[in-house]
Amino acid sequence: MGKDKRQSPSTLLWFIRHKSYVPISEIRRRFLVESDEGCFIEAGSHRRAYVGLPPSTAQSLEKLWQQGKIGLELSAEFDADVLIGVYPMVPSKEHLHNGVHPIPQAPYNGHNGHAVQNGHDPSQEPLAAPEQETREQIVPQPPLS
């Protein structure tokens, strides 16, 4: 087995931000963590959580959490706190828009040359199906003589 490489906080954050949730097992697979060692990290309110990662990688996660960049998910199945996954506090722009970078444009409303600023864009509304006539049509009758 090779020596485990330390994962920098910025590398981990890039990976985590491109997903909505990352289990610890996926971090192990993605970064080829072959070590069976684990360690404890500070998890707030005088709590420590066990992480199944080498100390260097676990400390990078701890640093990201302390900076408010990731959230921690602890297992409820154990008496001790065990970190089972992490999630980004601010997802990447690509993740928010499914990989599409929208060009923000406020539509012109024709009033004093100002654009609509409330986010409503009538051109984005789905076209309604043509209404079907459900009323009886009343045809005028000629007068009786």
User: What digits encode the pLDDT tens for the residues 85-131?
Assistant: 999 998 766 656 665 545 444 444 444 444 444 555 555 555 555 55
- Do the beta carbons of residue 7 and residue 59 sit within 8 Å? no
DSSP string for residues in 34-103: -----EEEE-STT-EEEESS-HHHHHHHHHHHHTTSEEEEE-SSSSS-BEEEEEESS--HHHHTTT----
pTM for the model: 0.61
> What was the pLDDT predicted at 128?
54
Instruction: Give residue limits of the domains in the chain.
Output: 9-89
> What was the pLDDT predicted at 136?
45
Q: Mean pLDDT, the chain, as a whole number? A: 76
> What was the pLDDT predicted at 90?
84
The confidence band for 134, taking pLDDT boundaries of 50, 70 and 90, is very low
> What was the pLDDT predicted at 7?
83
Q: What is the pLDDT of residues 32-89, one digit of tens each?
A: 998 889 999 999 888 999 999 999 999 999 999 999 999 999 998 988 899 999 999 9
